[in-house]
Amino acid sequence: MPSVFWETLSAARDLGRLHDIASILIRYGFSDMVRRLGMANALERAGKVLHWQEAGELARLEPPARVRRALEEMGPTFIKLGQILATRMDLFSPEWIAEFEKLQDRAPSVPFTEIRQQLQEDLGAAPEEVFAELVSEPLAAASIAQVHRARLRNGDEVIIKVRRPGIRLIVEADLRLLQRLAKIIEAESPEMSRFKPREVVRQFTLSLRRELDLAAECRNSERIGRNFGDCSEIVIPKVYWAWTGERVNVQEAVNGIPGRDLEGAEQAGLDRKILAQRGARAVLKMILEDGFFHADPHQGNIFYLPENRIAIIDFGMVGRLSAERRSQVVDLLHGLMEREVDCVVEVLLDWAGAANIDEDSLKLEIDGLVDQYHGVPLKELYINTILTDLTTLLRDYHLALPPDLTLLIKSLITLEGMGRQLDPNFDMVTEFSPFLRRALLARYTPDALVKRGWRAIVGGLEILTDLPQDLHHLLRSARSGRIQVHVDVTRLQHFGNQLDRATSRLTMGVVIAALIIGSSIVMTVDRGPVLFGFPLLGLLGFLSAAIAGVWLLISIRRSGKNLE
């Protein structure tokens, strides 16, 4: 199957990119992977030469370091993938996570002369006509876009984010490779298929395509800004939609103290304890109440403003949680905080789906995990440690978190780290508590009860309304003999195979018995050819029965059956 895949791919437009990726993998000592996936055959048939001896010092690095450096060389898509994998503590051990976290989304800046034409097309006018001032030297450069400072003609200071020319073609080619690779892994590796590689790649594809659309970042920004509309403590930059599109966006410039400059915050008279509390509450509100949150709340995306206000920027990566998922997260966190083991196990089993798990053993492990934090003072209770231990436990039980939760866990861990840097006495559990209480109480408000009751009534009425028509279809199918019953029973096919083998052996036994009886009768007949004074046909019958009997005994022995 892999060779068929790569041969098909070789006729497509991704051949050059495939050659680059294969060369990088070989250089880092992954030539065996290139061969197993059939990439070598496809490329060689297309006339591409692979240098199998390229691996040297790089191949002697530890596997996590080799993978990380290979991802860096393979470009923006794979750097982004590595950053996503850094959130999958349920899949990778700490040494792998540590390497993935080293992946930084930096890239050499594109000279302004190369992006000027694209910028003019997107703005609808020459940049000099739109901006009174535009700094050609970029403020920052990443793999997807780079940022320039500017000033509008009305005096507003703004930030211009410009997508790198040609980056979409590279990213789309990489995404096609990843999607096909995920199909191969899922089809050929049962061990890896439980981690749902196709679903992981699908989620990653959606996320990266949104990030390529710079207007989507602004829509995210405005949505979160509306959610904080009545909160003056949190500032979200204004979007200038007149000059914003898929390849460029223009947003209000934030002139504050960068999140990394803690000394600068103190010198400006800001209260670090208040900043930690407000930042934590803002992110928890996004997660637990709004279900739409900034998925990368690190210090580079935070600015501190006068009066202990906080500005949040860069909404290219956001997380989404459905109402049902938020309810599960609330139950999980409440169970961990209140040491309700049954609640935690129930949520984890819901997430595990149809996985075959020893529930009693899992419950015992969770009980031990929760109990080790009993009596620990809140300021010494790290949500980071709890979540890390929990994901390690999931990994031990070969369970994978739903993909939409990995960004959530990473955000919570990052958030706690920032809070502890601002305030050494910061404890996440205290900040969690009011949100969890409100979320739990909200389930039993009159409005919530009425809504749930109404949904149940409507659902029941729909079933009753559809019942006559469903019965009519069922009876019509029964009269025409078109009813089909599909039974999917675990081990049914295995049982059928066993039954088939047993029937075959029973038939063979009957044939052997018939040969013996028939040969015995022939031995009493005086007519016909003889051998050693015995009827030849009788001897042949006994010989055939003996050979068949030996074969039957060997077959039974090989299948592990015991003869008594």
User: 341-395 pLDDT, tens per residue?
Assistant: 888 888 888 876 655 677 788 888 888 887 777 666 666 677 777 877 887 887 7
**Burial class for 244, CB neighbours closer than 10 Å (0-12, 13-18, 19+):** buried
The token duo for 39 is 């990439």
The C-alpha angle 533, 536, 537, rounded to 5 degrees, equals 140
For residues 15 and 9, the answer to whether their CB atoms sit within 8 Å is: yes
Q: In terms of pLDDT, which residue wins out, 222 or 340?
A: 222
296 among known catalytic residues: yes
pLDDT band at 274 (very low <50, low <70, confident <90, very high): very high
In a domain, 26, yes or no: yes
Residues 390 and 528 in one domain: no
**pTM confidence score:** 0.70
Residues 313 and 393 in one domain: yes
Q: How far apart are CA 89 and CA 388, in angstroms?
A: 7
For residues 238 and 251, the answer to whether their CB atoms sit within 8 Å is: yes
- Residue that is written with structure tokens 């009159």 in the block: 446
Q: What value does the mean pLDDT take over residues 455-482?
A: 75
Rounded to a whole number of angstroms, the distance between the first and last alpha carbons of the chain is 46
In a domain, 138, yes or no: no
Q: Which residues contact 293 (CB under 8 A, 6 or more apart)?
A: 224, 283, 286, 287, 318, 319, 321, 408, 411
Over the chain, what is the mean pLDDT? 79
Whether 563 shows a pLDDT value over 50: the answer reads no
Q: What is the pLDDT of residue 496?
A: 60
Q: What value does the mean pLDDT take over residues 81-106?
A: 78
Q: What is the pLDDT of residue 20?
A: 77
Q: In terms of pLDDT, which residue wins out, 126 or 461?
A: 126
Cα 199 to its chain centre, rounded Å, is 6
Domain limits at 385? 260-443
Residues 273 and 421 in one domain: yes
Please list the residues that pair with 147 across neighbouring strands.
140, 161
**Share above pLDDT 90 across residues of the chain, in percent, rounded to a whole number:** 19
pLDDT band at 494 (very low <50, low <70, confident <90, very high): low
Question: What digits encode the pLDDT tens for the residues 197-234?
Answer: 787 788 788 888 888 999 999 999 999 999 998 889 99
Q: How far apart are CA 178 and CA 201, in angstroms?
A: 7
Question: What digits encode the pLDDT tens for the residues 286-336?
Answer: 998 899 998 877 788 899 999 999 999 988 888 888 888 888 888 888 887
Whether 561 shows a pLDDT value over 50: the answer reads no
Q: How far apart are CA 319 and CA 87, in angstroms?
A: 13
Q: What is the pLDDT of residue 236?
A: 95
Q: How many domains does the chain have?
A: 4
Checking DSSP bridges between strand 145-152 and strand 157-163, what pairing results, if any?
A: antiparallel
Whether 247 shows a pLDDT value over 80: the answer reads yes
For residues 322 and 291, the answer to whether their CB atoms sit within 8 Å is: yes
The one-letter amino acid code at 239 reads V
The residue among 425, 443, 461 that closes a domain is 443
Q: In terms of pLDDT, which residue wins out, 403 or 145?
A: 145
The token duo for 48 is 């591409």
Q: How far apart are CA 372 and CA 502, in angstroms?
A: 53
Q: How far apart are CA 411 and CA 338, in angstroms?
A: 22
Cα 121 to its chain centre, rounded Å, is 36
Q: How far apart are CA 384 and CA 145, in angstroms?
A: 31
Question: What digits encode the pLDDT tens for the residues 364-379?
Answer: 888 888 777 766 666 6
Residues 364 and 398 in one domain: yes
Catalytic-role residue among 90, 296, 331, 389: 296
Residues 269 and 410 in one domain: yes
Q: What value does the mean pLDDT take over residues 552-563?
A: 60
Q: Which of 98-112, 257-271, 432-446 has the highest mean pLDDT?
A: 257-271
pLDDT band at 94 (very low <50, low <70, confident <90, very high): confident
Q: Strand order of the sheet with strand 302-305?
A: 234-235, 309-312, 302-305, 257-258
Whether 562 shows a pLDDT value over 50: the answer reads no
Residues 416 and 320 in one domain: yes
Q: How far apart are CA 395 and CA 86, in angstroms?
A: 14
Residues 420 and 326 in one domain: yes
The residue among 104, 122, 152 that closes a domain is 104
The residue among 410, 443, 476 that closes a domain is 443
Nearest to 524 by CA among 511, 538, 543, 541: 538
The one-letter amino acid code at 37 reads L
